[in-house]
Amino acid sequence: MKSNILILDDNKSVLTALEMLLQTEFDHVFTLNNPNNLISTIQKRNIDVVLLDMNFKAGINSGNEGIYWLHQIQKYDSTISVIMITAYGDIELAVKAVKEGAFDFILKPWDNNKLISTLHASMKLRKSKIENASLLKATHTLKQELKPTSQTLIGQSKPMRRVMEMVKKVAVTDANIFITGENGTGKELIAGEIHRYSKRNKEIMLAVDMGAISETLFESELFGHTKGSFTDANEDRIGKFEAANKGTLFLDEIGNLSLSLQAKMLTTLQNRTIIKLGSNIQIPVDIRLITATNKDINSMISDGLFREDLLYRINTITIELPPLRDRGNDILLIAEFYLSKYAIKYDKYGLKINQNAMRKLLKYKWPGNVRELQHTVERAVILADDKVLNEDSFSLNEHTKNLKRDLQNITIEEMEKEMILDRTHNEKGNMSAVAKNLGITRQTLYNKLKKYGI
């Protein structure tokens, strides 16, 4: 056993005997005959196990001294294993010591084999406690990192005030929330606000982009899998539902789910249990469910593309986010926020937006909503040569607006092709980003590229 033990006893003969017995069992054996230096020795020597006498004063055998020092050790480091040792075979004292947190109780004279076996077991407990403490710390850190923030949720317009009033009303319940709105309106931020105001805000919130999960990986990603359940399943893995247990699970772009996957999702939500891929054991899950989409779900139901019974499961409360073009002066508030953020990021302090530029930002329709405004401001900051940003500083996407054709003479297919070209140009050929911006899957995008010969 590679570890450090401290023996504390007022009898020097006992210390010598135990030191000789245990020197081959531990890396280092330290001894003390007075408890006054106990904590300082533990600090200096990185002690794993303490063999602690219960009585240090002649004529006193109550064990209170031992209990006192046991508590002091626990206050310093609760993972240290403490074994009490005494010459008095008082069963009540033994029970008291264990109840107070001692690992075990050894009587003098001791049995060498039994003592060594007990010490080995106590060391295993010490290592287990350290691992658990490390895991708890890592989990806490992860929760803090994943904890949603309202830092970029900005707005004072009437539409946004109505949304936030609804958020605060429904957040304290456990009702399933369905968020609708165009791409870039901030659906994940609203989900984060709901979690922040909920009773589950001390737990994790996990966000999953349903449009980015392929059908073949759906069950593994959402429900987990067991080792050997499929090729390359080299170890057990928990899915998103289990990882979000006791917290909030946000399923973004749920409208992208195929009908077969919708059926599996419905079963999970009805039973509130999951079954890992490769297993037949039902695992209960306790989550707050929030879903979102930019699609017209009612039209999808009419077209047979979305299950009506699944919609009933997910939309106890529906929150519709307004597009940025309907939020008035929120456009300027958000622009100022990102101006400050990117001025710091790119070391361009003191930037301001002049009145002409503000009018230009307010007049633009922002088809990409807040996400488009964010990227527009960032680009303006990067390219800024002066402290004042004018209307020429903001390169807005006027492509569709400047088309020489009347909208009445444009077919739906022509308009769709123009939108794809637009987004492809904006995203610099990043097809995953283009598909997400258009609210379609990558496969659908590729099919349309082929159709239009793009």
| Lowest pLDDT segment from 129-143, 337-351, 379-393 | 129-143
Q: How confident is the model at residue 405 (pLDDT cuts 50, 70, 90)?
A: very low
Q: How confident is the model at residue 63 (pLDDT cuts 50, 70, 90)?
A: low
Domains observed in the chain: 4-139 (3.40.50.2300), 158-322 (3.40.50.300), 325-452 (1.10.8.60)
pLDDT digits (tens, 9 = 90+) for 150-181: 455 788 999 999 999 999 999 999 999 999 99
| Lowest pLDDT segment from 101-110, 337-346, 419-428 | 419-428
Closest CA relative to residue 306, chosen from 255, 373, 361: 255
Average pLDDT on 291-312 reads: 93
pLDDT digits (tens, 9 = 90+) for 208-218: 888 778 888 88
pLDDT score, position 281: 84
Average pLDDT on 320-339 reads: 95
Query: Contact, 154 vs 373, CB < 8 A?
Result: no
pLDDT over 80 at 397, yes or no: no
Rounded to 5 degrees, φ, ψ at 91 are -65, -35
Burial profile 166-178: b = 16 or more Cβ within 10 angstroms, e = fewer? bbeebbeebbbbb
pLDDT > 70: percent of the chain: 89
pLDDT score, position 181: 93
pLDDT digits (tens, 9 = 90+) for 105-152: 888 889 999 999 999 999 999 988 887 776 666 565 555 545 554 455
What is the three-class DSSP state of 299?
helix
Across the chain, mean pLDDT equals 86
Average pLDDT on 335-345 reads: 94
